Amino acid sequence: MMDMTVLAGAIDDVNQLSQKINDLLVGSVMSLMVVTAVVAAWAKTKSVVSAGVALVGGVALWFAVMNAAVFRDSVGEDIAPDSGTAKSAGTGYSVLRVIEPVPGDLR
């Protein structure tokens, strides 16, 4: 039984280490991308406004990447699985709409 406890502790340690490495890589790569975008915008246009827009866009993208799980879960809550036209047809049925071609339509 002691071997299982040690193995569970080792697996937990590896999971924590991989999470820290993932956070480090995401943070460093995203910060490098934001800095590169700001420098490229500044070098191309020599405009503070375009560099600021690149900074705001990069930070917004960084925020979206860091909170992707929150956005994914909120979409699942907003869309109810039983809403829509398929419910009115009953369980196990789907609604199919057939559109006939219009005479004279050459598409």
Q: CA-CA distances (angstroms) from residue 19 to 8, 13, 57, 69?
A: 17, 10, 26, 15
> Residue 91: what pLDDT?
61
CA 95 to chain centre: 31
Single pTM value for the model: 0.53
* Residue among 96, 77, 99, 100 at smallest CA distance from 85: 96
CA angle 59, 34, 54 (to 5 degrees): 70
CA 38 to chain centre: 23
Over residues 44-101, the pLDDT tens digits come to 999 999 999 999 999 999 888 888 878 777 765 555 555 554 445 556 666 667 677 7
